[in-house]
Amino acid sequence: MQDATLWRTLLGVEKTIVEDVNYDEETGILIASVRPTASQLRRCGECRHRCPKYDQGEGRRRWRGLDIGTVPVLLEADAPRVKCRKHGVSVAAVPWARHQAGHTKVFDQQVAWLATQTSKTAITQLMRIAWRTVGAIITRVWNDTAATFDPFANLTRIGIDEISYKRGHKYLSVVVDHDTGRLVWAAPGRDKATLRKFFDALGAERSAQITHVSADAADWIASVVAEKCPHAIRVADPFHVVKWATDALDEVRRATWNEARKDARTNEAKRGRGRPPKDAPPRPDSERAKKLKNSRYALWKNPEDLTEKQQAKLAWIVQTDPRLGRAYYLKEGLRTVFKLPYKDAADALDKWVAWARRSRIPAFVKLQKSIVKHRVAILASIEHGLSNGRIESMNTKIRLITRVAFGFKKPEALIALAMLSLGSHKPVLPGRK
Ligand SMILES: [Zn+2]
């Protein structure tokens, strides 16, 4: 065929002969007939070793390629079967696509890049594929990528965490590298058996090189770490400690809200539907309950990130509800401890514990006990400078990915998206260096 090189370039294929190209006016699809070059013929789909031909298979097959301009592209070729000594009978490998894939490698590559960069709607519309197909594509791209490098090279300080997905019904265990800030491992499940898989993959020698392990207070993590890398320093994950305080604060906020609602019910007559009449009596207790209900973000966000409206709400809480105000300052106080230099941290933490113990707020009296229990690990995290900001941002990013990945069928696709987005080998667009 004329312009074979041009067509090979346009289709983004290598080691491939373009035999013919036809534009089907009825469907508006460009169909390219291709075949592997001689050196690529009769290779096992699994291991790509050369092997004897078995039969013709099921005749011609088609693969989606990247659009050329706005025109959808299909590659069409024979799909003979071969018989490998190791893998038995399989469809022969083709140089333009992964084994058993219905899309070309450049198509897969572009989908993987898009998945780490843009929205579900943008990908599915631009690439004209279903979201589940995106899940299947990124899974195979990640499997190929993972085979090309050692994810555990130079690992010394790690963080172990559990992340919920499927609206909190399922969990992933994840491991991050504190020094590079990257995600290095993820697997479905949150139990000892799951975490042992990580240390088994890491191997005894590299497990011995781990110097610090951060985690929340989960016992299953602690016992596997003690078993697999007993010499590592166990460090409390500052993100989780601050989260305990945020949870305690939320408990106080809910209790306060419930009290305000109760007051509203006893003191104020129920109002009918529709707009209240102009001369209706004021309902301060109901107003207060409503305001408290919507105060979660004002209390929860870091003060430096508050909007003006949230700042005003916070000031109102502190003025009108001293107990909730105190709970807020206790939360902020604990967060501040993690920002102090190590030499000041122990003293500040002990002062915080005394303050919380005397606070007469049950949620913080209880929290103070956990802090005392994990004091050594908490101070170790400050001593060894594990950045809370980095762990927190990784947590936020993974949680966002679990929401994006909600429609994927298998956890492997969620893991692929997380690893491609937050790991050390991010996808690049095809044809770019
Ligand atoms: Zn084989």
State in Å: Cα 50 to ligand 1 middle.
8
pLDDT in tens, 176-193: 998 898 999 999 999 999
More confident of the two residues 274 and 7 = 7
Smallest CA-to-CA distance from 47 within 104, 101, 91, 86 is with: 86
pLDDT at 272: 67
Question: Would 411 be classed as within a structural domain?
Answer: no
Q: How far apart are CA 239 and CA 387, in angstroms?
A: 9
Smallest CA-to-CA distance from 71 within 24, 28, 19 is with: 28
pLDDT at 389: 65
State in Å: Cα 65 to ligand 1 middle.
26
Question: Would 165 be classed as within a structural domain?
Answer: no
pLDDT at 281: 76
Instruction: Using the 3D structure, point to which of 102, 122, 152 is the last residue of a domain.
Output: 102
Question: Would 243 be classed as within a structural domain?
Answer: yes
pLDDT at 229: 92
Q: What SS3 state is found at 267? A: helix
Average pLDDT over residues 362-385: 92
State in Å: Cα 48 to ligand 1 middle.
6
List beta partners, residue 171: 164
Q: Compute CA distances 264 → 76, 280, 317, whole Å.
A: 71, 15, 18
Model confidence pTM above 0.85 = no
State in Å: Cα 408 to ligand 1 middle.
30
**Are the CB atoms for 77 and 91 separated by under 8 Å?**
no
Show the tokens assigned to 226. Answer: 């003690």
State in Å: Cα 428 to ligand 1 middle.
29
State in Å: Cα 44 to ligand 1 middle.
5
State in Å: Cα 149 to ligand 1 middle.
22
Q: How many domains does the chain have?
A: 2
Of 122-126, 236-240, 419-423, the least confident? 236-240
Distance of CA 92 to the CA centre of its chain: 35
Which residues neighbour 298 within 8 Å (Cβ) at sequence distance 6 or greater?
306, 310, 311, 313, 314, 317
State in Å: Cα 64 to ligand 1 middle.
25
Instruction: Using the 3D structure, point to which of 47, 69, 102 is the last residue of a domain.
Output: 102
* Secondary structure letter of residue 118 according to DSSP: S
**For 190-293, where are the alpha helices, taking DSSP H only?**
192-208, 219-228, 238-267, 284-293
Average pLDDT over residues 394-403: 89
List beta partners, residue 73: 30, 65
pLDDT category at 237 given cuts 50, 70, 90 is: confident
Residues in the chain: 433
Question: Would 85 be classed as within a structural domain?
Answer: yes
**Are the CB atoms for 115 and 417 separated by under 8 Å?**
yes
pLDDT in tens, 20-53: 999 999 999 999 999 999 999 999 999 999 999 9
**Are the CB atoms for 367 and 246 separated by under 8 Å?**
no
**Are the CB atoms for 197 and 142 separated by under 8 Å?**
no
Question: Would 15 be classed as within a structural domain?
Answer: yes
State in Å: Cα 82 to ligand 1 middle.
9
Question: Would 313 be classed as within a structural domain?
Answer: yes
Question: Would 351 be classed as within a structural domain?
Answer: yes
Residue percentage of the chain with pLDDT more than 90: 67
State in Å: Cα 139 to ligand 1 middle.
21
More confident of the two residues 326 and 292 = 326
Tally of CB atoms within 10 A around 283: 16
Q: Is the dihedral of CA 288, 293, 299, 304 positive or negative?
A: negative
Distance of CA 76 to the CA centre of its chain: 37
pLDDT at 1: 64
Instruction: Using the 3D structure, point to which of 102, 122, 150 is the last residue of a domain.
Output: 102
State in Å: Cα 257 to ligand 1 middle.
65
Question: Would 409 be classed as within a structural domain?
Answer: no
CA angle 304, 395, 421 (to 5 degrees): 115
Strands, E, within 37-156: which ranges?
Answer: 53-55, 60-68, 71-78, 81-84, 88-91
State in Å: Cα 56 to ligand 1 middle.
18
State in Å: Cα 292 to ligand 1 middle.
65
Q: For 237, phi and psi rounded to 5 degrees? A: -80, 115
Show the tokens assigned to 132. Answer: 């589940």
* Secondary structure letter of residue 190 according to DSSP: -
State in Å: Cα 84 to ligand 1 middle.
5
State in Å: Cα 114 to ligand 1 middle.
32
Which residues neighbour 391 within 8 Å (Cβ) at sequence distance 6 or greater?
159, 161, 176, 178, 214, 237, 238, 239
More confident of the two residues 113 and 217 = 113
State in Å: Cα 94 to ligand 1 middle.
13
State in Å: Cα 80 to ligand 1 middle.
15
**For 19-104, where are the alpha helices, taking DSSP H only?**
none
Show the tokens assigned to 389. Answer: 């900001």
State in Å: Cα 53 to ligand 1 middle.
12
Tokens 């007469």 found at: 360
Average pLDDT over residues 106-128: 97
State in Å: Cα 32 to ligand 1 middle.
28
pLDDT at 290: 83
**Are the CB atoms for 356 and 364 separated by under 8 Å?**
yes
Q: Is the dihedral of CA 132, 411, 103, 134 positive or negative?
A: positive
State in Å: Cα 83 to ligand 1 middle.
8
State in Å: Cα 142 to ligand 1 middle.
21
Which residue range is the domain that position 356 belongs to?
Answer: 238-266+284-384
Q: How far apart are CA 177 and CA 211, in angstroms?
A: 12
More confident of the two residues 290 and 372 = 372
Indicate if the pLDDT at residue 205 is higher than 90. Answer: yes
